[in-house]
Amino acid sequence: MKRGGRSYVTSPPSFSNDAKKLLVCTGNTVSVFSAATGLQITSLEGHTAPVTTLIVVPASSPAQKILCYCWTASLDGTIRHWDFSGPELLKTIDAQLPIYSMVIPSLLSEPQQIDKRRELSGKLVAYVSVEDISVVNQGSKELRGHIRRFNLAKSRIPRGDTLKETAEPESIVISPSGEFFGIRHKCKIHIWDVPSGGSRHAVSRKMTLHHTKVINDFAFHPTERVIAAGDVTGRVLIWRGFGNRKLALGNQKKKVRAMVDLDNAGVRGEDDAESCTTWHWHSAEVNVLNFSSDGAYLYSGGREGVLVVWQLDTGKKKFLPRIGSPLLYFMWSPDPTLSSVVCADNQIHLLKMPSMEILRTISGIKPPPSLPRMYEGLASTVAFDRSSGIAALCTENYCVQLYNLLNDRGISEIQVCERNHQPGDEITVVVTAVALSLDGSVMSTTEVKLPEDGIGGLVSLKFWASEPDSKTFTLSTIVYEPHRDAGVSAIVFHPTRSMAVSTSFGGDFKIWVCNSDKNQTDKDSSWICHAVGSYKKKPMTAAAFSGDGTVMAVAAENVITLWNPDKNILLSVLGSTLTPITKLCFAGKSEFLVAASHIPRPELSVWNTSKLSLSWSYGLRIEAVTSAVDSSAFAVLAVIPKTFKTDESKENIFRGRDGAILLFNGSDPKPVSIWTVMKARGGSISFLEGDKSQLRLAYVNGSHEYVVFDPNSDESHERSAVDYYGLAGLEETGDAGYTSLYGQLPDYDKKRMEDVESLGTPFVSSERPWETIFSGSTLNFPPLQKLCAEFFESLMEKRTAVVE
Amino acid sequence: MEEELRVRLNDHQVSKVFPVKPKSTAKPVSESETPESRYWSSFKNHSTPNLVSSVAALAFSPVHPHSLAVAHSATVSLFSSQSLSSSRRFSFRDVVSSVCFRSDGALFAACDLSGVVQVFDIKERMALRTLRSHSAPARFVKYPVQDKLHLVSGGDDGVVKYWDVAGATVISDLLGHKDYVRCGDCSPVNDSMLVTGSYDHTVKVWDARVHTSNWIAEINHGLPVEDVVYLPSGGMIATAGGNSVKVWDLIGGGKMVCSMESHNKTVTSLRVARMESAESRLVSVALDGYMKVFDYGRAKVTYSMRFPAPLMSLGLSPDGSTRVIGGSNGMVFAGKKKVRDVVGGQKKSLNLWSLISDVDESRRRALRPTYFRYFQRGQSEKPSKDDYLVKEKKGLKLTRHDKLLKKFRHKEALVSVLEEKKPANVVAVMEELVARRKLMKCVSNMEEGELGMLLGFLQRYCTVQRYSGLLMGLTKKVLETRAEDIKGKNEFKGLLRNLKREVNQEIRIQQSLLEIQGVIAPLMRIAGRS
């Protein structure tokens, strides 16, 4: 089983001391990438919840540069100390509260004594931002976010050391010198100084800077008392000489002019700063602020996707424009020629420094694009190359990203629409669908230009041919307005020949053929329309080819029409479903046809095309359907109905999972196995048939995290790999319990079916008393009356669910 | 300094600059792209003096420089094949029907409708020999391919005559045709073998050595035969009659190999053309004005070209550089192409001789760092074979409207592209503006003169099918939003009137199309049912 598609951008990455490695928080693990190749070297595994903070212990002398120690903090409430060259876990400290941010000032201020300190280890002090739910009751005004001081030697955070309480946990920013740290809180910045090392009980002093707008991010100057802050309107504020009065060192306190506020220009109210200047270039919020290591430049970036370099003394600017995605973090490395910028589209760009060229990109899986309402639930923005395990994903910036699911690595990106994406602009052009032929040699995309005031809308269909060696595609044919001005609802490729069918909302479908065989050369190959068909002018919403390609099924609203694709003859029409069909799929080489529809009433139905009759159906909302090529197995991704999920007793079973993958075999209405998954909405599934003739199932969820697993492998293996990673959790259920005891059920409603399944499934939960109460010593058995009541109660609940 | 830095930064970008491009238009499916069609369309049109009457026959001299004899009215004009200008005229008593060069190109024979066959020296005005024997108009005359002493002719009296030119006497009368003999050809492999075609639908094969005056073989074309040619192998012939061209296998007993019936009117002339790839094609011209190239090996028409007149005769120079077609109205459609073979051959032969000296010279000329001239090499210095070439990155050329769009000066971009008068570009810029949601703003910001320009453009192109999807909607919007500016202005009156007329016309076209669809749809349905 392979998991991947993790977000690289949940928290800032960090360079190792020799700048050859880049550490990135990826969900529950920390991945270590090589800066030279952009490939993953290793990962630190151990946390059981997303890692939020990563601190690489800085080197104080050149000899120490090879040292690879880091601290991590996670939402699971632990702080861990690692040697990431190993990788090896050195130490675990249990803080017992989810940690959102952590700084360790003493690592920065007195690095030369670190090793000694670590041995003494009594004085390594961290400041953490935690969420304390224990104090918060419903409706009380107690604040959840706490900034606390924490001695890394002790394992419990003392309550007394709370510095500040906020409504939400805030992230802590520390100055590069380790003298100050602070948090932003709405329109204010709170700054504390770090009490000098010797005094253990010294209290840190606090000061506050005010602004009129909500502050998004701020940074400390490495050497001087300068703070830069960016707000939501795009302004960058620079306070110089902050804290001269309040945070002055003890012996100098007397010398500071007491209350002589002569000309601290731009400083608001009673704030303790010498001056405040404002720079305004960004048009939208500023998310990234960072001083260069020598303090001469300030880097800023925001939603526009432009990295701006300000010369701090003069205010002059340089730009790295058109990054194409909102910037999230900017990190400089110990190597002055290297830095990295992290974008919201899950990309980490490594920059060559003085010239700001993008050297290399660590490319994560890109998040899905936002589609126009009309295409939601219909368009397939993810396509799979079954043989090589490559997924083609539509992205926001008019590209199709090719992502290798087996290696968890981005391969390339194909510019579908020749435009530059500007994040934050109104969406006017969208790539709505992508399809790959079965052998992966041809790709097809559709894009929509949304009209302005009803004029200038354009739908175009593109066919791409793959380059023989490199895994990219080159444009072969553009078809403008393939179905006049109507949108394309689906594209499907013929399983064996170069033929494709596109269906439209305008009531017709077109069969396209490639005429490359005529003039042999690949360069000249182009796709031309072979046939046009329609059925009673009904909108065509889905299409599918049978396993051998002799029959094509096209859904015309709520009937299924079967065609001969070569001669374009209507073979027959399958009886109507209740609601418009959105997905069609033949179950492998068998004669069964799977149809799914969801608006307004969800339905999954399986039709027998030889008898032209309905085999069985469930009332389930289906997000995706896939079938194996050789066998008659097919799998559907179903969204678990709300009424069913909100049921009290099952709350714990699903643990936030909203979908299930059901694996069926042929016409059998009883699923072979069921897995529950998260974020099923907008997800997609596909079988992958590798070279080893090993059948695997790939599931990509709504936020493009994915898992590839073997649907036929034994349960225990699945179970062991499951569950520690909460984001795309999976559980094998198999057919145990009721179904295995009583055999196949008649054609029943899905809800009941689900109940039965969940009853019999071997979940690891103590919430289900009828499983655990019988285990253990008979002495511990509760009295029989109670036992019976509890057992029957669990059964009774199911029945009530059915009544609903 | 800052500007410079910015330029340098722009060199490397995550995403590139995409200039506004018009939508690509549909290409004809592979037609213009085959090597065959490239060969035939590479004949560049060459203007020739217009001859007054129908061009009855064309013949090229078999030797270089392949001068051309054109038979029209009662004259034969000699043209030089280089400049295609008339150099000499020979006049006859009646309309000339056929002309043919001798194998050495020094003499040519021509026959006229008075039944006389005359032989001329191309350098002299007077006829060398006058052969009188045909009792009716003579229709064709031919020299055997290599033989210099004999001639073949045929005419409306149905007799084919084999002449001894020197003595001006008929060696044999080949009798057998029951109608006018219109055409004939001599075998390329045997000087005494010949075929003749007649209006009695038959093609007869003769051997001049046999004096029994009986034909060896007979082929029935099925229609009056207009032209007949031997294919280069000598074992096959092609005949033209009616609308069809047929290829026959003589050795195989006169079986038909294939036929081509893509002409719509009578095929008048046939020639065999030799392509660059040493393949042969059959070229035919017909009264429907089409020249067709027929690949008889694959039984396929590979090229077709239309001329604005009924075509009477066809000539292809032996070196393949010139193609001349004569029309019934006296037009001569000449096409020439550059022949590189001759030059290439010369160069090759030169190289063969001076191979050794060439190598020496290149060794002598190679510059080394020890030479002073090595350091003076300039921009134009050619890289030697083992030099590593560093490719300079090609800058993207941006047009004026692209630059303006890059600076977000939307209205100026639209105005500048309107001035260019390239409708595809204008529509492309408009689409880009739609994608930026700025088109309507541009329209509302336009000044009066610019608005006039826009209206002029809309008036001209809004009914063009390729652009109408966008422009129709835009026209409506422009008229709605700028109504008060347009109303009552004299300069817009004409534009609006024209616009109205265009729209009315378009509506009428659409209506008639709908009517046609109404007629066709039931027919299609019936056809589909059966």
HEC assignment per residue over A380-427: CCEEEECCCCEEEEECCCCEEEEEECCCCEEEEEEECCCCCCCCCCCC
Q: What is the least distance, in Å, from the CA of B472 to any CA of chain A? A: 9
| Chain B residues within 8 A of A318 when measuring between CB atoms | 2, 5-6, 9
| Chain A residues within 8 A of B34 when measuring between CB atoms | 519
Residues A625-640 have pLDDT tens digits of 888 887 788 888 888 7
Res. A448: pLDDT tops 50: yes
A78 forms bridges with which residues in the sheet? Answer: A94
Residue among B2, B9, B18 whose CB faces A419 most closely: B18
Predicted pLDDT of residue B508: 95
Q: What is the least distance, in Å, from the CA of B6 to any CA of chain A? A: 7
Residues A355-399 have pLDDT tens digits of 888 888 888 888 888 777 766 656 678 888 888 888 898 888 888
Mutate to test the interface with A, among B6, B15, B441, B471 (most CBs of A within 10 A): B15
Instruction: Round the average pLDDT of chain A to a whole number and report it.
Output: 77
How far is it, in rounded angstroms, from Cα B239 to Cα A225? 101
Predicted pLDDT of residue A747: 39
Q: What is the least distance, in Å, from the CA of A250 to any CA of chain B? A: 45
Predicted pLDDT of residue A266: 67
Using CA atoms, how far residue A733 sits from A532, A663, A672, B438, in Å, is 45, 11, 9, 55
Mutate to test the interface with B, among A325, A396, A452 (most CBs of B within 10 A): A452
- Inspect the interface and report whether the beta carbons of A456 and B477 lie closer than 8 Å: no
- Inspect the interface and report whether the beta carbons of B30 and A453 lie closer than 8 Å: no
A418 touches chain B (CB under 8 A): yes
- Inspect the interface and report whether the beta carbons of B14 and A453 lie closer than 8 Å: no
In percent, the amount of chain A with pLDDT more than 90 equals: 9
Mutate to test the interface with A, among B14, B24, B427, B465 (most CBs of A within 10 A): B14
Predicted pLDDT of residue A454: 82
Using CA atoms, how far residue B511 sits from B46, B463, B469, B497, B515, in Å, is 44, 14, 18, 21, 6
Residues A269-291 have pLDDT tens digits of 677 778 888 999 998 889 899 99
| Chain B residues within 8 A of A419 when measuring between CB atoms | 18, 435
Strands, DSSP E only, in B275-396?
A: 280-286, 290-295, 300-306, 311-316, 322-327, 332-336
How far is it, in rounded angstroms, from Cα A412 to Cα A361? 11
A517 touches chain B (CB under 8 A): no
Residues A508-534 have pLDDT tens digits of 999 999 876 555 555 567 888 889 998
Low-confidence ranges of chain B (pLDDT < 50): 1-13, 342-356
A321 touches chain B (CB under 8 A): yes
| Chain B residues within 8 A of A454 when measuring between CB atoms | 473
Q: What is the least distance, in Å, from the CA of A139 to any CA of chain B? A: 46
Polymer length in residues for chain A:
804
Q: What is the least distance, in Å, from the CA of A384 to any CA of chain B? A: 26
Residues A410-444 have pLDDT tens digits of 888 888 888 888 887 788 888 888 999 888 888 99
Residues A306-358 have pLDDT tens digits of 899 999 888 899 888 888 888 999 988 888 889 999 988 888 999 888 888 88
- Inspect the interface and report whether the beta carbons of A524 and B30 lie closer than 8 Å: yes
**Domains in chain A and their CATH numbers?**
366-534 (2.130.10.10)
Question: How remote is the C-alpha of A755 from its chain's centroid?
Answer: 30
Burial of B466 (0-12, 13-18, 19+ CB in 10 A): middle
Handedness of CA B22, B27, B33, B36 (dihedral sign): negative
Q: What is the least distance, in Å, from the CA of A323 to any CA of chain B? A: 6
Mutate to test the interface with A, among B434, B477, B524 (most CBs of A within 10 A): B434
Residues A235-248 have pLDDT tens digits of 999 988 887 777 66
Q: Quick check: B116 and B90 in contact, CB under 8 A?
A: no
Q: Which chain B residues have any C-beta within 8 angstroms of a chain A C-beta? A: 2, 5-6, 8-10, 12-18, 21, 23-24, 27, 29-30, 33-34, 430-431, 434-437, 439-440, 469-470, 473-474, 477
**CB neighbours of A531 closer than 8 A, spacing ≥ 6?**
A510, A511, A565, A568
How far is it, in rounded angstroms, from Cα B484 to Cα A282? 39
Predicted pLDDT of residue A772: 53
Q: Which residue of B has its CA nearest to A413?
A: B15
- Inspect the interface and report whether the beta carbons of A456 and B2 lie closer than 8 Å: no
Residues A636-692 have pLDDT tens digits of 888 877 766 555 555 555 666 778 888 888 778 888 888 888 888 888 888 888 666
For residue A287 the two structure tokens come to 């998310």
- Inspect the interface and report whether the beta carbons of B17 and A453 lie closer than 8 Å: no
In percent, the amount of chain B with pLDDT more than 70 equals: 90
- Inspect the interface and report whether the beta carbons of B30 and A418 lie closer than 8 Å: no
Predicted pLDDT of residue A803: 41
Predicted pLDDT of residue B238: 93
Residue among B12, B24, B434 whose CB faces A357 most closely: B12
**CB neighbours of B529 closer than 8 A, spacing ≥ 6?**
none
Residues A681-722 have pLDDT tens digits of 888 888 888 666 677 888 888 888 888 888 776 543 343 333
So what's the ipTM on this one? Answer: 0.78
Closest CA to A51 of A29, A68, A36: A29
A324 touches chain B (CB under 8 A): yes
Residue among B5, B29, B469 whose CB faces A318 most closely: B5
Q: Quick check: A595 and A560 in contact, CB under 8 A?
A: yes
| Chain A residues within 8 A of B436 when measuring between CB atoms | 428
What does A335-385 look like in DSSP terms, one character per residue?
STTEEEEEETTTEEEEEETTTTEEEEEEE-PPPPPPPPGGGTTTS--EEEE
pLDDT band at A489 (very low <50, low <70, confident <90, very high): confident
Predicted pLDDT of residue B367: 67
A426 touches chain B (CB under 8 A): yes
- Inspect the interface and report whether the beta carbons of A321 and B474 lie closer than 8 Å: no
Q: Which residue of B has its CA nearest to A567?
A: B528
Terminal-to-terminal C-alpha distance of chain B:
79
Q: What is the least distance, in Å, from the CA of B231 to any CA of chain A? A: 28
A424 touches chain B (CB under 8 A): no
Residue among A349, A449, A528 whose CB faces B29 most closely: A528
Phi, psi of B158 (to 5 degrees): 80, 10
Q: Which of A510-514, A613-617, A774-778, B434-438 is least confident?
A: A774-778
Polymer length in residues for chain B:
530
Q: Which residue of A has its CA nearest to B24?
A: A478
Burial of A797 (0-12, 13-18, 19+ CB in 10 A): middle
Mutate to test the interface with B, among A318, A323, A455 (most CBs of B within 10 A): A455
**CB neighbours of A105 closer than 8 A, spacing ≥ 6?**
A125, A127, A174, A178, A179, A181, A194
